[in-house]
Amino acid sequence: MKVFRLCMAATALASVLAGGTALADPVDKLEHVKVELVAPPLVHAHEQATKAAPRVIQFRMVIEEKKVVIDEENGTTLQAMTFNGSMPGPTMVVHEGDYVELTLVNPDTNALEHNIDFHAATGALGGASLTIVKPGEEAVLRFKADRSGVFIYHCAPEGMVPWHVVSGMSGTIMVLPRDGLKDAAGNALHYDRAYTIGEFDLYIPKDEDGNYKEYDTALESYGDTVEVMRGLIPTHVVFNGKVGALTGDGAMTAKVGESVLFIHASANRDTRPHLIGGHGDWVWETGKFANAPEKDLETWFIRGGSAGAAFYTFKQPGVYAYVNHNLIEAFELGAAGHVKVDGKWNDDLMKQVAAPRPVTAK
């Protein structure tokens, strides 16, 4: 099989860029702010509209390779690779014009080399060629977040990009406009909470008896996994790392009258989110806030390799399902979660006029 390689004189590039650091960099003088990341589906506290001047927002992520259970009912495992131990990696939030400064740590307990490619960044393969870290190394990358929107970040080590991505190494950065989100008419949209959903297409090999295989290390899973990947049919499609991660105790919550921003990212494969019983009031399905959002969507579409965002104000209580509306992918392969919503039922929007009963005579 012909495998594509991105041939790039990474070392040469790094030395050219490093040459610039000898001069005073005006960005060094900007206010620097450290932000602690939180595990998905939560998003760290942040302002929406802001009066602050552009700043340097500092994040730190630690790469963790580990075996995870992706389907508790069947005990199926994945030799996962993660940013900060979670699938997806944590969502970072900054404002347009800020600088993102990430320290990427690869502890010596890992086996593999990693890096990071930010779709929000410009140059050097998204930062990938400047952040190649072996186990026991770390690197610091700074880039200007000069475009608003939700953007993927993912690992992209030369020669084995798809494997690292489908093994869990992706997440989202949200670059908010400095004056916050707007609807199509330019009216401000303020959300009360934001949730981040990372959808993962997984390719778990099976043995001769049809049982999912388990491996001792990530590299031992490589050869078989690539064979499944080449078939382009995932064995599982999950939100946030495993079947049912966003159900039960893990369900997202909201109240009637609250507005929620659902950030949905899929680094490798297309998906089509839908909120059963709800809508997308305002949706940026391509995820870029300088474009007017679409209104009243039933189902939206996230291209593989992108993130999108949907704004919805809940009007009815109950348990909603948030799914990939290829329903096989949702209910057979795992791409479904729940939103538990408290509040008062609205009979005007919906009313059960007659409960199910035997058919009455004409």
Partner 1 sequence: MFKTLGIAALALALAPFASMAADGGKVNPSGEKLYKSSCVACHSTGAANAPKLGNKKAWEPIIARGMDEMMAVAINGRGAMPARGGTKADDAALRAAVEYMVSRVR
Catalytic residues, by residue number, are: 114, 117, 119, 154-155, 164, 169, 274, 298-299, 325
> From the CB of residue 327, how many other CB atoms can be counted at a distance below 10 Å?
13
Say whether residue 157 binds partner 1 (CB under 8 A).
yes
CB under 8 A: which stretch of 110-118, 173-181, 266-274, 349-357 binds partner 1? 110-118
Phi and psi at residue 327, to the nearest 5°: -70, -20
Which of 96, 113, 117, 285 forms a contact with partner 1 (CB under 8 A)? Answer: 113
CB under 8 A: which stretch of 111-119, 189-197, 237-245, 257-265 binds partner 1? 111-119
CA distance 343 to 91: 28
Q: Residue 359 binds which entry of partner 1, Cu ion, none, with Cβ cut-offs from 5 to 8 Å by kind?
A: none
Say whether residue 162 binds partner 1 (CB under 8 A).
no
CA distance 54 to 189: 22
Q: Residue 166 binds which entry of partner 1, Cu ion, none, with Cβ cut-offs from 5 to 8 Å by kind?
A: none
Q: If you ran DSSP here, which 8-state letter would residue 298 be given? A: S
Distances (CA, A) of 281 to 191, 292, 310, 311, 359: 12, 13, 7, 6, 37
Which of 220, 298, 332, 342 forms a contact with partner 1 (CB under 8 A)? Answer: 220
Distances (CA, A) of 67 to 75, 110, 215, 221, 353: 12, 12, 9, 11, 51
Which of 138, 146, 158, 214 forms a contact with partner 1 (CB under 8 A)? Answer: 158
CB under 8 A: which stretch of 46-54, 107-115, 146-154, 193-201 binds partner 1? 107-115
Phi and psi at residue 223, to the nearest 5°: -60, -50
CB of 77 closer than 8 Å to CB of 214: yes
Listing from the earlier edge strand, what are the strands of the sheet with 273-276? 252-255, 336-342, 318-324, 273-276
CA distance 156 to 164: 7
Q: Least distance from C-beta 227 to Cu ion, angstroms?
A: 20
Q: Residue 328 binds which entry of Cu ion, partner 1, none, with Cβ cut-offs from 5 to 8 Å by kind?
A: none
Q: Residue 114 binds which entry of partner 1, Cu ion, none, with Cβ cut-offs from 5 to 8 Å by kind?
A: Cu ion
Of 56 and 156, the one with the shorter C-beta distance to partner 1 is 156
Tokens in use for 181?
């989100």
Q: Which residue is nearest to Cu ion (CB)?
A: 155
Which of 142, 147, 180, 222 forms a contact with partner 1 (CB under 8 A)? Answer: 222
**What's the CA angle centered on 157, arms 117 and 69, to 5 degrees?**
90
Binding mask 3-42 for partner 1 (x = CB under 8 A): x-x-------------------------------------
CA distance 150 to 43: 13
Binding site for partner 1 (CB under 8 A): 3, 5, 111-113, 134-135, 157-160, 163, 216-220, 222-224, 226
